[in-house]
Amino acid sequence: MSDILSQDQIDALLNSQGFNDGGDGEQAADQEKVRAALLKTFGLFFEQAGNVISTVLNKKVAFHAEQCVQASPAAIQEKLPSVLLAVKFPLTSGVEGAFFLVIQKTNVAVLSDLMMMGDGTAEYTEDHKDAVGELFNQAVGAFTNALSSEWGDAVASGAVEVTEFDIDHPPAPLETNELILAVQTVEGRGESNIALLVPRELSAQLAEKMKSLSASDNGPGNDRIGLNTAELDDLSKVTSFAEGGADDFREAIPAPGGSLASRQNIDMLLDIDLDVCIELGKTMLSIKRILDLAPGSIVELDRMAGEPVDLMVNDKVVAKGEVVVIDENFGIRIVSLVSPEERIRSLR
């Protein structure tokens, strides 16, 4: 048998590897363009998520996208071998669809424990779903705001959902998804792998947006509304941590070039008014009993005399106290603060 391939065999081999000049090669090139657009778009997501989570946890948290590949069980299990959760991010305007963050439960426990003022060593519990959901609700809000500025078009998202991730029954067929593999770094806790699942329908919309944006930027008379690159760089100096982390997110951060970003995200919130009320107790009355109320009627509450009252901020209990009188006005003296775990439960 001859070791020399015939021309027909050479042509068949080249065609099977996608090196032909026909459709397969063009499809592969188009697919690479789509994946490059996804890496750029979700690089912005990871940047905004890192900024938001760093601020909330008061620790440097960074995400870095490594590559975009065809989703498959093997590709996910290679990087994420342990028990997983899926965080669903629905996009409702600008582009429509949902993408999914696939994250290990051990990673969720670290983020949630740090959010609740722990040291990041707590074991995973079901309450951590609510905590990480709240974290990524804020992250996707920052992401859609950044996309709106980048595109000059309103982008909005719905509330995130956190569910168990079953590799055998994923939220969408894996063969119809692109997989973005990334690394998360938490100050003092090392690195861990995460991934994004992006359905092809959403991928196509994002790639088309990026294509039209690139054409608009390169064309004459570009008057797109939004922040330019220099303005986004200036914004990042205010919203991100300095290299090496920070001990206190109120602390001023030296920005590149010698300028000083003297106010951090938390300072922007200090003058926001919140509704604060004191709840002595509550009860349930029938409509008939309410209609029978008259001067002198007594309504019994569900709280014992001398029991601490609740201090409510925006309808959430944050502290308990005892009633005092100050210059003929009622007040309360704080006797205890609600634990971080209970605050997280109140988010449900």
- Render pLDDT for 163-173 as a digit per residue (tens, 0 to 9): 999 998 998 88
Alpha-carbon distance of 89 to 276, in angstroms, equals 32
Which of 12-21, 61-70, 176-185, 325-334 is predicted with the least confidence, judged by mean pLDDT? 12-21
What would the CATH number be for the domain defined by 8-226? 3.40.1550.10
- Average pLDDT of span 12-33: 62
Structure tokens at 248: 């206190």
Find the farthest-apart pair of alpha carbons in the chain and give their distance in angstroms, rounded.
111
Structure tokens at 139: 């992250």
Which of 193-197, 330-334, 336-340 is predicted with the least confidence, judged by mean pLDDT? 336-340
Query: Strands 329-337, 260-261: parallel, antiparallel or unpaired by DSSP?
Result: unpaired
Kindly state the percentage of the chain with pLDDT values over 70. 75
pLDDT score recorded for residue 346: 65
**How confident is the model over 118-139, as pLDDT tens digits?**
888 999 999 899 889 988 998 9
Alpha-carbon distance of 320 to 332, in angstroms, equals 9
Query: Which of 110-124, 191-205, 269-283 ranks highest by mean pLDDT?
Result: 191-205
pLDDT-derived band at 184 (thresholds 50, 70, 90) equals: very high
Query: Is CATH 2.30.330.10 the classification given to domain 276-345?
Result: yes
Residue 233 clears pLDDT 60, i.e. is over it: no
- Name the more confident of 5 and 322: 322
pLDDT-derived band at 4 (thresholds 50, 70, 90) equals: low
List CB contacts of 28: < 8 A, sequence separation 6 or more. 18
Report which of 256, 274, 271 is spatially closest to residue 318, judged by C-alpha positions: 274
pLDDT score recorded for residue 262: 40
pLDDT-derived band at 273 (thresholds 50, 70, 90) equals: confident
Residue 103 clears pLDDT 90, i.e. is over it: yes
- Average pLDDT of span 52-72: 91
Helix residue spans in the chain (DSSP H): 7-16, 23-57, 73-79, 105-115, 127-151, 200-218, 229-239, 287-292, 340-345
Q: pTM here?
A: 0.59
- Map out the domains of the chain as residue ranges: 8-226, 276-345
Residue 180 clears pLDDT 60, i.e. is over it: yes
List CB contacts of 310: < 8 A, sequence separation 6 or more. 278, 279, 317, 319, 320
pLDDT score recorded for residue 258: 40
- Average pLDDT of span 47-54: 92
